[in-house]
A and B are shown apart, each in its own frame.
Chain A
Amino acid sequence: MSPADTIAQPALWPLSLIVFLPALVAAVMALPVIPKAREELIRWITLATTIAVFVLSLWMAWPTLFGAVGPAQFTVGEAGMQAVVKRPWIPAFNIDYLLGVDGISMPLVVLTTFLSVLACGASWPITKHVKAYHVLFLLLETGMLGVFVSLDFFLFYVFWEVMLLPMYFLIGIWGGPRREYAAIKFFLYTLFGSVLMLLAILMLYFTSDLRSLSPEQLVASHVVSPALDAAGQADAVAVIRSAKGPIHTFNLLALAQLGQLPNSPFAAVNLWGMSLETWAFLLLLIGFVIKVPVVPVHTWLPDAHVEAPTPISMILAGVLLKLGGYGILRICYPICPGAGLSLAWLVCGLGVVSMVYGAFAALAQKDFKRMVAYSSVSHMGYVMLGLGVWSATAGNEFRWDAWAQGVNGAMFQMLAHGISSAGMFFMVGVLYDRVHHRNLEECGGIFNRMPVYSGLAVALFFAGLGLPGLCGFIGEVLVTLSSWNYSRVLAVISAFTVILTAAYILWAIQRVYLGGEYKGPHGDHLTPITGRELAIATPLVFLAILFGVAPQLIFNYVTPSVNRQVETLADWTRDIGGKPPQPVAGGPVPAEVTGVR
């Protein structure tokens, strides 16, 4: 049908393998090929798979490491989508198997594959239903990676759901005493969000019409493959533009182009007093902020973390939370800019509330892991704030750089938090494996008992504290500095959080690691850190320092893509005069929209 089928797509296999290799291995393992009893073999197979995927993603993301740069690999410093793979998937609904990476998703993909390797290593102590655990673990990896590379909204949603189920079982079966409660809570929260997201997806789909896009926009959004020659492109464009009825699309890039049109079809539709764009933004936002999570929809997180086994906590904090931030950045803002502009206060406000509330709540916790979980709420608040600081207004002549700084900071914070929080959860797990409790009041003196472990743990906690020279600092300071141009009040409150963060982290360190003697049970089990644990903790500490000292390593990837998006949106703000477009009262409502129940 489509000439795109015949075009060479060099990234097809590498990118597909990155996403699907874990699932394929999981499917094979699920068959009774490998006996359940061969637990060690299963662990090694899983580890080998995660390592293979990690190497593959590194091969893509960092071509120079492997010598020659191939066409499927990532060009650092380029802003646009790269390694785009497009195959028609369900043509009846214009659904494509559309994958691609840019500076925003590439680092997150590598973070995911990297943390999967470490989490797999951290899964060694798991002895219950080993095979099932690893199958689900690999499926989870496919789901996460799929979300990051999908450029088709439907595909995105499928992967989003694929991720949900394994997580539910991983918490519900391998978790702590209250695992079932935690798992169902996680499941219901996320499912609620996904349902709303699905609603928004359908709204956008049925309102979209590719015919409104110019030929350049069609090419830029890969609706018409840029790899075609001029004649081929013209043909494909002509097919679209001459269609009788509207051509709907799930293509995220095309939806973004539509959303940023001066007469955006999403902004024009009035639905119960608000534009469809606003509805879609809000529905999507709810779905995403549940994942982030922000206050007040965060209560699944402490329970999930406390009950989840250590490696799952690492994945949960390290990767899953980032999906929310990624979704807001990739989907909410580009597709619904008008709503983004008028609701920026909501995004920022939720972020700041989470920062402060999470920090206060962390201060009150007696359970070590719960404390770390609340610190995640607080730290992810920075991400929300950074994404939301839409400071390009008429008052500052629509300057985009302050906002771009916030978004870059938010991206950095996501990656840094991926490292520091995964590390913190792992460190809590190491202690728990020995003494089988997490009560902050019944610890102390660990430094003298396990010096190497404690040194590494304190380094990771300092990264969480936002100490300069470690990865937590850069994101926090960029976000905080950028928020001033958006709102002075929010900026001051966000700056205030640095005090609380110092308080809860230092207090926890004092109670657990410092002091003369260990005060809890099982003191004789406080054996030095093992080689396996060291192999997991050391890379995390190393990266925490590396990214803290040389943040450019990340910004080289992130900044071009982020800046382009923000600059585009700032220009868009200027073009509309700084005021979000209002829906036309009594304007045309497509039959499909009103038909959506």
Chain B
Amino acid sequence: MDLATQLPQLLGIAWLLPLASFVLILFFGPKMGPHGRNAAWVATAAIVTSLVLSLVAFVSWLGAHPVTAVHHGGDHGAAHASDHAAAGHSDAGDHGEASGHGGAAASHNDQGVHAPVAYSGDWYTLYEGGRLKLSIGWYVDSLTILMFVLVTFIATCIHVYASGYMHDELHDVTDHEVTLADGHHLHRAGRFPRFFQALSLFCFSMMGILIAGNLAMVFIFWELVGICSWFLIGFYYERKSASTAANKAFIVNRVGDFGMLIGLMALWGALGTLHFADAKVVGADGQTATVPGLFSLVRPAESGHALRVPDGMVKFAAADKVARTPVAEVAGKIEAWRAEGLGDWLLFIAGVGIFCGCVGKSAQFPLSVWLPDAMEGPTPVSALVHSATMVAAGVYLVGRFFPVLSPDVLLVIAYTGAITLFIAATIALVANDIKRVLAYSTVSQLGYMMLALGVGGWVAGLFHLVTHAFFKSLLFLCSGSVIHACHTNDMRKMGGLAKVMPYTAGTMLVGCLAIIGAGIPFVIGLSGYYSKDSILAQALSFSQANPQHAILFYAVAGGAFLTAFYMFRLWFMTFAGKARDHHVHEHAHESPQVMVMPLLVLAVLAVVAGWTLPGGFGIANLLEQSRPAGTVETTTGGFAFGQTLTIPAEYLSHGEPFHATATWTAFATALGGVLLAAAMYVWRVISPAAVAMIFRPVYTLLANRWYFDELYHALFVVPAHGLAATASGIDQGLIDPFLNGLAWVTRLVAGVDSWIDRTLVDGLVNATAAATWSAGTRLKVLQTGSLRQYVAFIAIGTVALFVIASLFFRASLAG
């Protein structure tokens, strides 16, 4: 079986298995063993099978497209047009194979710049009318497969972990956070199967985003992931805080989706397609035609995959001119209109719009407020949904959609990432809830990825996405283990736990080292060392190419320092020193094996995920295979901000002078952050309280999370309720009184009328009064008579209406 058929089948089944598990648990969950205990097995079996299928797909991919070291034309820095073929350079035979299968794949062109290998096609159609088609399909490249493996792998770890963590739900639960009206705590039945049911649905939705062959499908699963997260955050739905956090997460995400819809409209309205790749369609005449997808519309092969505004957008923007131009001449004028800049804004709006969706999902500024609250969900949820998968979807989509993003959009993305990473890191400095520190850390790291993508580091950003998924889910699971042992999230009550929870402490230390990018410079390091360095290097490279945006590099470097500080503050406060709360400490214990095992596995991966094996096998090189066409070399462009932007080629950042500077910067900032944390929380040479006192206003600002919640409440929630009350008030205070007044006037007029009738007519026509009276009485019977008479009259009248009319017809026919 060839790859083009095999991959969608494998991944398709891997995608649908969790759905099957969801349906099974939905209907039979409570009957699966005592208290539904076996639901965990059903869900885990489904996700493990998905993992196996993803791995098979991965191996098949590697068989056809072996990962090798990427050559950058020998000497770095020199721009070579011919030799920088990054990906898809395996063998030409494959391209024919892939494109022969209804799905399109690579196409060569004269300049030697290859489009990456990808397989795509449609499973079925949701709507089709004219040239417009919305469908469910696939787009599979090395990024898709890598993400499948990543998501199913982490999900497997978390399923195993959760089957231990959620064991409380196997019995009746007393929820101490819910106090009922009678003063007692809520006592409820356990919901063990329900948890795994939601987890399965989530995995299905998440993989739907990954495999999606078009943006409409992305949007569908985007929303589904949102609602799954609503279920999972609101798992303890008896708690007001949990259900509010769930609503907040969904609604804030919808704000992002609002922007995403605008992006979709801009693309759909002008281009009439949302497919990523080209599609082969068989027309009514039996001829096969290629319908270009978004990627080749924006980066056509004939222009060497250089970004340009597609014809459809030019025509859309030039609608006035099109209307005045004879149909035959339109095609000839498009080039001139494009040169005038028509359609530039449309492409910009499309890119920023789609990015808005990513801002919501990946909790970027200004929509980051939902993620910390989302920690109301059980900890496995935080690990899966809010660190490794769902929030990563935004970064994934930016990566997937990258070919369509113009330099201006990339700049917006870079700055959004920079602001996010800085703000979130500063909040994490002062947070005391262990999960919230990790939540803000996640937001900050996602900002890193966005920034990396924005400055042109396509591989750097997605590489960090992968490594971060490992170490952050590890960190979350460790925090879950701590919370499980201490029954509190407050780090101020912890301390000295390393002795009682050695495995948790050790693995969490690995996670912390990985996230700060620890390593021996130029020799070896943990996974974060590689991905973070490449981000720094690319940011530096971008800053040099665009000196006016040098701040982006400082944001990354400063962020690295903050990260190191708050992560080690967390570790020291939790595990080092002496116990601060003996009550908590006495009850603390190492978690059961079923929870520790996933920690160990993830710890190993947090160490090795960034490594490149001899021969070139490694995640970065694997990603290189799918690098969007046209982004290998340095590109320039931009109109929206009145300046030309240079997006430096990524391979430049691997060379000097960027690589060394970046590595040393990373090392120095990380070391500085760790030392400062140690000084404050281990050696206690600096008192945290004193620092807080000195920087009182800053501390207050950070402790209150920059007042975003309060600001949004005042800016959006209150006005929304105000508008709602206004709309409702207009109905009740304006429209209805007007109508009622109208009715009153009508009655008044009728009353006057009837008074005239009574006084004048009655007085004049006294003689006929008796007759009128009797007729009136008869009519009155009809009006106030029993309901049955009424109804019978209407029913028979209706039928009679038709009968009489028909008779009338017969009569007229006879006449």
A551 pairs with B794, CB closer than 8 A: no
B238 pairs with A139, CB closer than 8 A: no
B794 pairs with A396, CB closer than 8 A: no
Partner of A88, one of B224, B268, B809: B809
Q: Is residue A248 within 8 Å, beta carbon to beta carbon, of the partner chain?
A: no
Q: A91-B813, A92-B812, A364-B727 are in contact. Are A27 and B788 (CB under 8 A)?
A: no
Q: A142-B798, A169-B791 are in contact. Are A90 and B240 (CB under 8 A)?
A: no
Q: Is residue B778 within 8 Å, beta carbon to beta carbon, of the partner chain?
A: no
Which residues of B lie under 8 Å from residue A447 when comparing CB positions? 237
B787 pairs with A132, CB closer than 8 A: yes
Q: Interface of chain B, helix or strand or loop or mixed?
A: helix
Partner of A408, one of B127, B219, B728: B127
A502 pairs with B250, CB closer than 8 A: yes
Partner of B234, one of A30, A408, A514, A563: A514
Which residues of A lie under 8 Å from residue B642 when comparing CB positions? none
The B774-809 residues at the A interface (CB cut-off 8 A) are 787-788, 790-792, 794-796, 798-799, 801-802, 805-806, 808-809
Query: Interface centre among B721, B790, B794, B795, by most A CB within 10 Å?
Result: B795
CA distance A27 to B802 in the complex (A): 13
Which residues of A lie under 8 Å from residue B216 when comparing CB positions? 477
Residue of chain B at shortest CB distance from A499: B254
Query: Which of A67-75, A101-109, A340-348, A466-474 has 4 or more CB atoms under 8 Å from chain B?
Result: A466-474
A474 pairs with B731, CB closer than 8 A: no
Query: Which of B162-170, B312-320, B680-688 has 4 or more CB atoms under 8 Å from chain A?
Result: B312-320
B126 pairs with A397, CB closer than 8 A: no
CA distance A457 to B723 in the complex (A): 28
Partner of A480, one of B265, B323, B808, B813: B265
Q: Is residue A507 within 8 Å, beta carbon to beta carbon, of the partner chain?
A: yes
Partner of A515, one of B124, B240, B795, B798: B240
Q: A30-B792, A296-B735, A363-B724 are in contact. Are A551 and B127 (CB under 8 A)?
A: yes
Partner of A131, one of B175, B243, B788, B799: B788
Which residues of B lie under 8 Å from residue A97 when comparing CB positions? 806
A484 pairs with B269, CB closer than 8 A: yes
Q: Is residue B122 within 8 Å, beta carbon to beta carbon, of the partner chain?
A: no
Which residues of B lie under 8 Å from residue A428 when comparing CB positions? none
The A493-523 residues at the B interface (CB cut-off 8 A) are 495-496, 498-500, 502-503, 506-507, 510, 514-517, 519
Query: Interface centre among B219, B230, B237, B250, by most A CB within 10 Å?
Result: B237
Partner of A514, one of B227, B237, B265: B237
Which residues of B lie under 8 Å from residue A408 when comparing CB positions? 127, 129
CA distance A467 to B124 in the complex (A): 19
Residue of chain A at shortest CB distance from B132: A401
Partner of A516, one of B134, B238, B322: B238
B237 pairs with A462, CB closer than 8 A: no
B264 pairs with A481, CB closer than 8 A: yes
Q: Is residue A220 within 8 Å, beta carbon to beta carbon, of the partner chain?
A: no
The B706-746 residues at the A interface (CB cut-off 8 A) are 720-721, 723-728, 731, 735-736, 739, 743
Q: Is residue A360 within 8 Å, beta carbon to beta carbon, of the partner chain?
A: yes
A394 pairs with B323, CB closer than 8 A: yes
B792 pairs with A496, CB closer than 8 A: no
CA distance A397 to B334 in the complex (A): 14
Chain A: minimal CB distance from B332 (Å): 14
Q: A396-B319, A503-B720, A515-B238 are in contact. Are A136 and B794 (CB under 8 A)?
A: yes
Partner of B127, one of A357, A396, A405, A517: A405
CA distance A582 to B316 in the complex (A): 28
Which residues of A lie under 8 Å from residue B237 when comparing CB positions? 447, 514-515
Query: Which of A158-166, A278-286, A314-322, A325-333 has 4 or more CB atoms under 8 Å from chain B?
Result: A158-166
Partner of A395, one of B178, B320, B794: B320
CA distance A132 to B788 in the complex (A): 6
Query: Interface centre among B126, B258, B264, by most A CB within 10 Å?
Result: B126
Chain B: minimal CB distance from A337 (Å): 19
CA distance A517 to B178 in the complex (A): 10
Partner of A507, one of B126, B240, B247, B812: B247
Chain A: minimal CB distance from B29 (Å): 12
- Chosen A-B contacts, 25 in total, with CB atoms closer than 8 Å, are A90-B808, A91-B812, A136-B795, A139-B795, A142-B798, A166-B794, A296-B735, A299-B731, A360-B724, A363-B720, A363-B721, A401-B272, A402-B269, A404-B130, A448-B238, A468-B219, A468-B221, A468-B224, A481-B269, A484-B269, A495-B261, A502-B250, A515-B240, A516-B239, A563-B129
Q: Measuring CB to CB, which residues of chain A are less than 8 angstroms from any residue of chain B?
A: 1, 20, 23-24, 26-27, 29-31, 36, 88-92, 97, 129, 131-132, 135-136, 139, 142, 158, 162, 165-166, 169, 173, 185, 188, 296, 298-299, 302, 357, 360-365, 393-397, 399-402, 404-405, 408, 445, 447-448, 462, 467-469, 473-474, 477-478, 480-481, 483-485, 491-492, 495-496, 498-500, 502-503, 506-507, 510, 514-517, 519, 551-552, 555, 559, 563, 578
Shortest Cβ-Cβ A-B pairs, 7 listed: A401-B130, A395-B319, A394-B323, A484-B269, A364-B724, A484-B265, A363-B724
Q: Measuring CB to CB, which residues of chain B are less than 8 angstroms from any residue of chain A?
A: 124-132, 134, 175, 178, 180-181, 186, 188, 216, 219-221, 223-224, 227, 230, 234, 237-240, 243-244, 246-247, 250-251, 254-255, 257-258, 261-262, 264-266, 268-269, 272, 315-316, 319-320, 322-324, 327, 330, 720-721, 723-728, 731, 735-736, 739, 743, 787-788, 790-792, 794-796, 798-799, 801-802, 805-806, 808-809, 812-813
Given A142-B798, A397-B330, A498-B261, list of 16 further CB < 8 A pairs? A31-B792, A89-B805, A90-B809, A91-B812, A92-B812, A169-B790, A296-B735, A299-B736, A396-B319, A448-B238, A468-B224, A506-B251, A514-B243, A516-B180, A517-B186, A555-B128
